[in-house]
Structures are given as structure tokens and as C-alpha cells.
């Protein structure tokens, strides 16, 4: 019979419509307040059609989410090296960056002029960054990581969209808070929560001390 | 409903072809013996004849890709490279023709394979090869009047910085400059000498109108019942900034010419500046609905090259399982999107679209947790994938009002694949398939016959809806597809409705594949997912490769030429969205204006890939 197909289709529409309102009833008309309602509405168990009501509710992003890199610095209350850059200005991230939006001025010793493992300046042009995550993937010192803060709208792109070192730097603590699992895995791989070089230095010192002790006992 | 395309034979196509062709064409056909290369080189003067023999006598009836390479400094010629296949399946016959750079002319092959039409126009536009006898040799991606041929190695953009990445200015003295300052508005285009944009009248418009051969002068003869209408480039139903110039008799289409390039960014030139690894995230931006399968195609073509070298380990089984999982989920994402949008084009504004997209969002949740991004996934690497799938799909609260979800990934996948998606597909089927709006508008509209589909190099659902069971996953299998049990969806009417049905069938076949993939994921748990060397600029052995995959929109191929350095010499994308448009005019002739929109929707193009 002509029209039967449309009629069947409309039943599907009706089902979607009804299901969406059943959700309201299910949570006793407290679907915005009930602590479990959001997670269920945005899961496989959901029936009906739901959007995320941004900005009143936001979907928390997973740990691997990547949006504009930041530079890891030592916690500001670190006993020995507060706020110290983890970046050694090795330049790998600047070389691997596909749109070439990372600019690094390598640090120099003021007297000798020899390079030192510390960036003098570090810029990322966030208009150009394509959020690929390569810089974080290939940095040998875990010094650059992808951020989770995607709310970057600003009024003037010409002045506000080149991030310098100060704007890019965030404490190690921040990385631990947005990606706890990966921060811990990386620390395990390094052998501690400190920077790779610090750990190496400490290792060397410990070995030297050990050697001295053995020397003395000989 | 479906039948399986036969699996590849094992005689080398080059040997077979050489034997026959050398007998007939003597010295004008020779083996390509450059290191890392394959196939045959044909003298330009005999190209047309040899091509006809390849088509008629050797039976290579499907021309997948035709592209040009500039060998500046290596013989100073430009070379056309053709990849021809048999529609019954099997490997490619690669043949090439060379012509001097400063006087680049080759005979057109549009008489042998009409599907080469747009690809030859592209080679003219970007590489400056003139094709003798081409019926409509105009620029296709750039604008008429553009200066030079941008894929030539000695062509530089006005804000040219350096030939190859990484650029020296970034480190160790990277004093930042905004790229806009190098590239001020008004000075960012290059003009020929003695040419001014103000005095210029574009030949493009008359050329388009001439080509579709109206026979009436639009400026004076509008009183007739034949008119030219420009559809797009702003119309929402053109799926992006795409334009169709149609010649109408009343409301009936008599001729149509697609006009594209509004989103052109010379992806391939960027790709030749880039190092091999830097291209991966750029492939995300081709067909941005299907970034993961684009990644797969590119990874496969580079892995083919790497396999020529000494130290190469193929990806582990788990890596391949994950790749297939991602590729098939991507197919579902694409097809629900395509079906939803088709209904938009038919006038059912956004309700079907939204229903289709609900499932897409759920799949993207998984992509986001695994790859770090919902659409720009940048996930495959040469030798595996970037990271294993995470144990849990879990958000971390960071911003104000962040709401956290926490789900076990394998459970999530299991109920997604076994319950949620099959149910949604059945519902879509019930919702649309028998709807009179669908059947009346789609049946018998936009018919592409079997022979035309092959001749015009149509690919993917467009080809299979015309009765050709050709699917790269079966015709030239890659990854773990030989181990998986699925049918190649095929339908026989070649109309809009059958293209819709093929997509629906493919959704079900993808579910079938995914159901087999899940246990494999469990079995391979713990295997590494990456066997490559984790270096930031891997060198790739010299040679050429053509890696192709069955993307949701059709065959996606990457033709890459390496010189053993960090950057490719040539990086070409065989874009299904682009080549499928070759047959658009054929499908539209005789139908009404409103049908054009539906027909375009049924081809399913994405302009990021069409325009590159
Ligand atoms: S790769 Fe890491 S250590 Fe090297 S310059 Fe970049 S951020 Fe610094
Ligand atoms: S995320 Fe990618 S584009 Fe952005 S700075 Fe890092 S490497 Fe460059």
C-alpha cells in the first residue's frame, strides 16, 4: 500500500521522540542533577537522542586527548629546582613538527658561548599547530606534552596566538592531573618522578659514592 | 545478494605484458629497471597504441590511477605513471611514458579509459603535461590564468621558505615570525610578467560554458527554454564548496560540468616538502570523515617501500587487527554519515542525519580515547600503530563543568558491535529503505551502467552498485583481510537507490568483520603494536610504491617515489572522491535539477579529498 513505508519510518521517529522523554521520567525529572544521569545518557545504554549541553555540561576528555602542547616544568615548590625547564632545547620537536610551528632559541653559556641544555626562548604558533601530537611523542625528555584545555578563543589572533615559554610552561603536577596513567608510566620508564638528567646525575653520584666506599674498604 | 571477487593470480603482470608487447611493439616498450621501480616504460609516440593493447588484449580494463612525476635533475623529464587493473582482481600493471620537461606533450588516453579524463587535466594543471587530443584540457584545481604548474620541482610559491622540512630557521636560533608577515595579503599570489589582475578577464567562465556547448549565448539568448545554471559553490547540498555548471532544457539536464578546486591547498606539494612521517597527520585532512583509513593507506604504501630495505619488520598481528578494527569502524562512521546526508539532499532536513550520527558519536568516543582525537586521528605508523587501545575509556575532569565517564574498552566495543550498531543499522533500514520518499526519488535515477562504471574508473560503492563486485580488500588483499570472512556487497541497477543499498549492505558486512575482529583482539592481547624504529625522521629506501586500500568512498591510493632520503620526491593521492566525479555528467544527463543533488549525494564526496 502506498505510504506504508513512510508510516513505518515515522514510527521510528516517534520511538526516538518518546525514548528521549522517557529518560526524564526515569531520573524523576532530575536528569540534570542526578550524579549518574549524564554518564548514562552519553553511553551505549542511552535510548533517545541527547546532546551535551555545552557549556553547562562538558564531556571530560580522555587522557590521550591532544590539544596544543605545553612545556613541562618542575613543580614550583620543588625543593631543588622550582620551575626549572624539563626541555633541553635538543630541537627534535621543532624538527618533527609537520607544519613547523615550533621555534626554539637554544640556550648558551654566557661566558663560553657553548650551547647548554636549556631553551632561551620557546614559541609555538597555535594558529598553525595541527594538534598532531608528534612533539610529545618524540621528545626524549618527556618535556613537552599535549594539553586538554580546548577553550582558547581570544579577541585578537595577531597578538595572542603565539605562545611564548612563559605561557607554555606548566608544572609537572598539571600533567599528572590530566593524564595520571601516562605520567606514571613515563616516570616508571625514567626510573623516578624527576627529570631524566637529574636521575642520571643522581645515579652517577650514587655510583661514585659506592665506588669510594669500596675504595675505602679495600 | 553478494558474490565474492576472485583472489589474485600469481604471475607477474610485468613479465606477461612485456612478452606480448615487445613482440608487437619491439624496442618502444622496455622494462623499467631503475632500482626499486617496476613495470614498463613506453615510448611516448606509441603510448596510445600500447595502451589500447593493454586494455583490449591484456584485459586491463580498469585504470585506477594516472599521475605525473617530475624528474628534474634525474634525466630532466616528466613521467606519466599509470596503474591499470583487471576488474576480475589481481595486481597492477604499471606503465609509464616520459616526455621532456620543457616541451611536455603526451597523447591522451581518454579514448581507451574515459576515467583518465580528470586525472589528465590534473596532470596538465599541476605538472604541465599537455595531452594531445584531450577533449577538454583545462586546469581543474587551479584557476585558469594561474601562473605555472605548481607540482614542478622548480616552481616556488610566493612565500617560499625552503625546499624541504625541517626548516633551518626553527632551531637553534628560532626567533619567531608569523607566517602572515611573510605572506601579506595581496602579495601572496604570483602573476606572469606584464599581467595585472585588474585588467584580466577570466577565460574560465566562457571556457566552461563553451565546453558544455550550449549553443546559446547566455547574455543575449536567455529567452529560449535552454539555460545554464550554476549550482553552488555555496549551496549546502553540494557537500562543501563545489560547483556544477549545468545546461538545462526546461528542467532537464543536458550537460554538466563539475568545477572544483575551491579547497585546493596543494596537499601533494606540501607532502613533498614534508618528511615521510610528517605526512601522516596531513592524510587525516584528506577525507576528514575517514582519517583512520587514510592513515592506513599511507602507512601501507610506505611500508611497501620500507620492505625493500634491509632492516624492516612488518607490523605484528595485533597491530594489523587494530588497523582493521579502526578501518571498519571508520567505514561504519562514513556510511551512516553518507546515508544521513543523502536524506538531507532529498529534502528530509537533518532528522535522519541526526539519527545516523548518534552511532557515529559513540564510535568517535572510542577513537578519541585511543588516538587522542575524534576526527584527526593521526594513529597509524610505519610498522604498526601509535599506541595500543586503552584499558578504559575514561575522561579526566579538568575544565569547569566537566562530566566524567568511565567505561571498560573491551566491554564497550563488545556491546557496540554486538548490540548497539546492528540495532541502529536495522532501524535505519526500517526507517528509510521502504519509505516512498526514498523509492520515488532514488529508483532509476542517476543510472551508471556496469561498463560505464568500469570505464570511468568509478570506485567503491558507486562501482559496486553498478554490478561490479570489485573490492580492494578481496581483489588485492592487504592487512588481515584474507583471514576474515565477509562478502563483497554488490547491487545491479547502478542507480541512487542501489548505491544506498550497497552502503547498507556494507554496514552489515563491516559488523560481520568486526565480530570476528573482537576475539582476535583478545587473543593477541599483550603483543606489541609497533615494530618500526621510533625515530623522528626515518629514511625510506629508494623506489616507488603504490599502496591502495578500500576506503569507504572507494579506492584510495598513495603513489610515493622515494630517493632514499628523509623526504619523498613524489607523493600522489589517488582520491576516490575526485575520480568518482568523472562519471557525474554521465549519471545526470536526462534527469531533473533536483535529482542532481541526490545523485551527487549518492556518490558521497568529501571536498577535502576532491580538491586536495
Ligand atoms: S624535543 Fe623535548 S627536550 Fe627537545 S627541544 Fe623539544 S621539548 Fe625540548
Ligand atoms: S602538536 Fe604537532 S603541530 Fe602542534 S606543535 Fe606539536 S608537533 Fe607541531
Per residue in B72-130, pLDDT (tens digit) is 888 888 999 999 998 888 888 888 998 988 888 889 988 889 989 899 999 999 998 99
Q: Find the closest chain A residue to B355 by CA distance.
A: A49
Closest Cα in chain A, distance from residue B324 (Å): 21
- In our burial notation (b when 16+ CB lie closer than 10 A, e otherwise), range B330-358 reads bbbbbbbbbbbbbbbbbebeebbbebbbb
Closest Cα in chain B, distance from residue A128 (Å): 9
Q: Is the pLDDT of residue B3 over 60?
A: no
- Mean local confidence (pLDDT), B602-610: 87
Query: Are B63 and B113 a contacting pair, CB within 8 Å?
Result: yes
Every domain range in chain A assigned CATH 3.30.70.3270: 69-191
| Band (B206; pLDDT cuts 50, 70, 90) | low
- When the candidates are 3.40.50.12780, 3.30.70.3270, 3.40.50.300, 2.60.120.10, the CATH number that belongs to A69-191 is 3.30.70.3270
How is A46-75 classified by DSSP, letter by letter? Answer: --S-----TTTSEEPPBTT--EEEEEEE--
> Does residue B248 sit in helix, strand or coil?
strand
Which ligand 1 atom is nearest residue A102's CA? 6
Percentage of residues in chain B with pLDDT exceeding 70?
93
Task: Please name the residues between 197 and 226 in chain B that touch chain A, using a CB distance below 8 Å.
Answer: none
Q: Is the pLDDT of residue A14 over 70?
A: yes
Least confident of A21-30, B457-466, B501-510, B603-612: A21-30
Answer yes or no: do B401 and A43 touch at CB < 8 A.
Answer: no
Percentage of residues in chain A with pLDDT exceeding 90?
21
Q: Which residues contact B528 (CB under 8 A, 6 or more apart)?
A: B316, B318, B319, B384
Q: Which of B225, B199, B250, B312 shows the shortest CA–CA distance to B545?
A: B312
What pLDDT does B331 receive?
A: 93
Percentage of residues in chain B with pLDDT exceeding 90?
22
What pLDDT does B2 receive?
A: 46
Q: Find the closest chain B residue to A11 by CA distance.
A: B431
Radius of gyration of chain A (CA): 26
Answer yes or no: do B396 and A149 touch at CB < 8 A.
Answer: no
- Label the pairing between strands B62-71 and B40-42: unpaired
C-alpha grid cell, residue B341: 546526508
Alpha helices in chain A (DSSP H): 4-26, 37-41, 92-96, 134-138, 157-160, 165-168, 172-178, 180-190, 196-217
Q: In chain A, which residues have their Cβ closer than 8 Å to the Cβ of B278?
A: 96-98, 134
More confidently predicted of A72 and B313: A72
Query: Are B442 and B498 a contacting pair, CB within 8 Å?
Result: no
- DSSP-derived secondary structure letter, B592: B
- Give tens-digit pLDDT for A143-169: 999 999 898 888 888 888 889 888 899
B148/A contact by beta carbon, under 8 A: no
Answer yes or no: do B376 and A105 touch at CB < 8 A.
Answer: no
Distance (Å, rounded) from C-alpha B159 to C-alpha B187? Answer: 9
Answer yes or no: do B373 and A13 touch at CB < 8 A.
Answer: no
What pLDDT does B217 receive?
A: 53
Closest Cα in chain A, distance from residue B201 (Å): 34
Q: Which of B364, B288, B355, B359 shows the shortest CA–CA distance to B326?
A: B364
More confidently predicted of A17 and B181: A17
Q: What is the average pLDDT value for chain B, to the nearest integer?
A: 85
Query: Ligand 2 centre and the CA of B287: distance in Å?
Result: 21
Q: Is the pLDDT of residue B440 over 90?
A: no
Closest Cα in chain A, distance from residue B63 (Å): 33
Count the residues in chain B. 612
Q: Find the closest chain B residue to A158 by CA distance.
A: B178
Q: In chain B, which residues have their Cβ closer than 8 Å to the Cβ of A162?
A: 176, 178
Q: Is the pLDDT of residue B47 over 80?
A: yes
Distance (Å, rounded) from C-alpha B55 to C-alpha B19? Answer: 15
What pLDDT does B573 receive?
A: 92
Sign of the CA dihedral running A77, A82, A88, A89: positive
Q: Which residues contact B248 (CB under 8 A, 6 or more apart)?
A: B226, B227, B228, B229, B254, B593
Distance (Å, rounded) from C-alpha B583 to C-alpha A33? Answer: 55
Query: Ligand 1 centre and the CA of B163: distance in Å?
Result: 24
Which ligand 2 atom is nearest residue A134's CA? 7
Size of interface A-B (CB pairs under 8 A): 197
Backbone angles phi, psi at A55, to 5 degrees: -95, 10
Pocket mutation for ligand 2, best pick of A98, A132, A138, A161 (most atoms within 8 Å of C-beta): A132
Q: Which of A102, A132, A65, A146 shows the shortest CA–CA distance to B280?
A: A132
Looking up cell 599502496 gives B547
Which domains does chain B show, CATH number per domain? 27-161 (3.30.460.80), 205-259 (no CATH), 267-395+404-533+545-610 (1.10.645.10)
Distance (Å, rounded) from C-alpha B9 to C-alpha B562? Answer: 28
What pLDDT does A69 receive?
A: 93
| Band (B1; pLDDT cuts 50, 70, 90) | very low
- Mean local confidence (pLDDT), B11-30: 79
- Mean local confidence (pLDDT), A126-136: 91
| Band (B210; pLDDT cuts 50, 70, 90) | low
Q: Whose CA is nearest to atom 4 of ligand 1?
A: A90
Instruction: Tell me the Ramachandran region of residue B501: left when phi exceeds 0, alpha when psi lies from -120 to 50, beta otherwise.
Output: alpha
Q: In chain B, which residues have their Cβ closer than 8 Å to the Cβ of A8?
A: 430-431, 434-435
Looking up cell 602573476 gives B191
Amino acid at each position: 500500500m502506498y505510504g506504508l513505508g513512510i508510516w513505518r519510518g515515522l514510527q521510528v521517529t516517534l520511538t526516538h521522540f518518546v525514548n528521549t522523554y522517557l529518560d526524564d521520567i526515569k531520573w524523576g525529572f532530575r536528569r540534570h542533577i542526578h550524579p549518574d544521569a549524564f554518564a548514562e545518557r552519553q553511553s551505549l545504554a542511552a535510548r533517545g537522542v541527547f546532546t551535551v549541553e555545552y557549556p553547562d555540561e562538558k564531556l571530560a576528555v580522555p587522557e590521550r586527548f591532544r590539544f596544543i602542547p605545553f612545556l613541562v616544568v618542575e613543580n614550583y615548590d620543588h625543593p631543588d629546582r622550582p620551575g626549572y625547564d624539563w626541555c633541553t632545547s635538543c630541537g627534535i620537536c621543532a624538527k618533527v613538527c609537520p607544519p613547523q610551528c615550533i621555534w626554539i632559541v637554544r640556550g648558551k653559556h654566557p661566558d663560553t658561548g657553548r650551547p647548554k641544555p636549556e631553551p632561551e626562548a620557546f614559541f609555538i604558533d597555535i594558529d598553525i599547530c595541527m594538534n598532531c601530537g608528534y612533539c610529545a611523542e618524540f621528545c626524549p625528555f618527556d618535556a613537552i606534552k599535549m594539553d586538554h584545555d580546548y577553550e582558547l578563543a581570544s579577541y585578537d589572533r595577531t597578538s595572542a596566538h603565539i605562545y611564548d615559554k612563559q605561557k607554555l610552561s606548566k608544572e609537572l603536577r598539571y600533567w599528572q592531573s590530566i593524564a595520571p596513567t601516562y605520567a606514571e608510566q613515563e616516570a616508571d620508564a625514567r626510573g623516578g618522578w624527576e627529570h631524566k638528567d637529574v636521575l642520571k646525575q643522581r645515579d652517577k653520584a650514587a655510583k661514585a659514592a659506592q665506588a669510594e666506599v669500596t675504595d675505602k674498604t679495600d | 545478494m553478494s558474490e565474492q571477487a576472485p583472489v589474485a593470480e600469481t604471475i607477474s603482470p610485468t613479465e606477461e605484458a612485456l612478452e606480448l608487447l615487445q613482440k608487437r611493439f619491439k624496442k618502444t616498450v622496455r622494462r623499467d629497471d631503475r632500482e626499486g621501480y617496476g613495470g614498463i616504460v613506453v615510448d611516448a609516440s606509441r603510448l596510445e597504441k600500447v595502451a589500447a593493447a593493454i586494455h583490449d588484449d591484456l584485459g586491463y580494463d580498469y585504470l585506477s590511477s594516472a599521475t605525473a612525476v617530475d624528474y628534474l635533475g634525474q634525466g630532466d623529464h616528466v613521467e606519466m605513471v599509470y596503474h591499470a587493473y583487471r576488474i576480475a582482481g589481481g595486481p597492477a600493471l604499471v606503465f609509464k611514458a616520459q616526455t621532456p620537461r620543457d616541451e611536455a606533450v603526451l597523447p591522451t588516453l581518454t579514448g581507451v579509459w574515459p576515467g583518465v579524463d580528470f586525472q589528465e587535466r590534473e596532470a596538465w594543471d599541476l605538472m604541465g603535461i599537455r595531452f594531445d587530443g584531450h577533449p577538454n584540457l583545462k586546469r581543474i584545481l587551479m584557476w585558469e590564468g594561474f601562473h605555472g604548474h605548481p607540482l614542478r620541482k622548480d616552481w616556488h610559491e610566493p612565500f617560499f621558505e625552503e625546499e624541504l622540512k625541517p626548516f633551518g630557521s626553527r632551531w637553534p636560533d628560532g626567533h619567531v615570525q608569523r607566517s602572515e608577515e611573510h605572506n601579506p595579503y595581496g602579495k601572496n599570489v604570483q602573476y606572469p610578467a606584464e599581467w595585472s589582475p585588474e585588467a584580466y578577464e577570466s577565460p574560465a567562465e566562457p571556457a566552461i560554458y563553451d565546453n558544455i556547448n550550449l549553443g546559446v549565448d547566455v547574455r543575449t539568448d536567455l529567452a529560449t527554454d535552454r539555460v545554464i545554471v550554476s549550482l553552488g559553490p555555496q549551496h549546502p547540498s553540494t557537500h562543501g564548496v563545489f560547483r556544477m555548471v549545468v545546461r538545462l532544457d526546461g528542467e532537464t539536464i543536458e550537460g554538466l560540468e563539475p568545477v572544483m578546486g575551491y579547497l585546493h591547498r596543494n596537499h601533494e606539494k606540501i607532502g613533498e616538502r614534508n618528511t615521510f612521517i610528517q605526512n601522516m597527520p596531513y592524510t587525516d585532512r584528506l577525507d576528514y570523515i575517514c582519517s583512520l583509513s587514510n592513515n592506513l593507506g599511507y602507512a601501507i604504501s610506505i611500508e611497501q617501500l620500507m620492505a625493500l630495505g634491509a632492516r624492516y619488520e612488518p607490523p605484528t598481528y595485533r597491530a594489523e587487527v587494530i588497523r582493521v578494527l579502526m578501518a571498519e569502524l571508520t567505514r561504519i562512521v562514513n556510511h551512516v554519515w553518507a546515508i544521513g546526508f543523502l536524506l538531507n539532499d532529498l529534502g528530509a532536513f537533518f532528522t535522519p542525519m541526526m539519527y545516523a550520527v548518534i552511532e557515529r558519536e559513540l564510535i568517535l568516543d572510542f577513537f578519541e580515547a585511543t588516538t587522542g582525537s575524534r576526527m584527526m586521528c593521526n594513529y597509524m605508523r610505519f610498522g604498526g600503530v601509535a599506541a595500543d587501545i586503552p584499558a578504559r575509556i575514561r575522561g579526566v575532569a579538568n575544565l569547569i563543568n566537566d562530566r566524567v565517564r568511565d567505561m571498560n574498552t573491551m566491554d564497550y566495543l563488545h556491546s557496540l558491535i554486538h548490540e548497539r550498531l546492528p540495532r541502529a543499522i536495522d532501524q535505519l533500514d526500517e526507517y528509510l529503505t521502504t519509505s516512498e520518499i526514498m523509492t520515488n526519488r532514488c529508483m532509476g535515477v542517476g543510472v551508471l551502467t556496469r561498463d560505464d562504471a568500469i570505464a570511468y574508473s568509478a570506485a567503491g560503492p558507486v562501482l559496486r552498485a553498478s554490478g561490479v563486485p570489485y573490492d580492494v580488500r578481496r581483489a588485492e588483499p592487504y592487512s588481515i583481510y584474507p583471514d576474515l570472512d565477509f562478502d563483497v556487497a554488490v547491487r545491479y541497477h547502478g542507480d541512487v537507490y542501489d548505491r544506498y543499498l550497497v552502503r547498507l549492505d556494507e554496514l552489515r558486512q563491516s559488523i560481520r568483520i568486526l565480530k570476528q575482529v573482537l576475539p582476535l583482539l583478545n587473543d593477541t592481547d599483550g603483543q606489541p603494536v609497533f615494530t618500526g624504529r621510533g625515530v623522528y625522521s626515518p629514511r625510506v629506501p629508494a623506489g616507488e610504491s603504490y599502496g591502495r586500500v578500500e576506503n569507504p568512498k572507494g579506492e584510495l591510493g598513495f603513489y610515493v617515489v622515494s630517493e632514499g632520503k628523509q623526504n619523498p620526491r613524489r607523493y600522489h593521492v589517488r582520491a576516490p572522491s575526485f575520480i568518482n566525479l568523472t562519471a557525474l555528467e554521465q549519471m545526470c544527463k536526462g534527469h531533473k535539477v533536483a535529482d542532481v543533488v541526490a545523485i551527487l549525494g549518492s556518490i558521497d564526496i568529501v571536498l577535502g579529498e576532491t580538491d586536495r
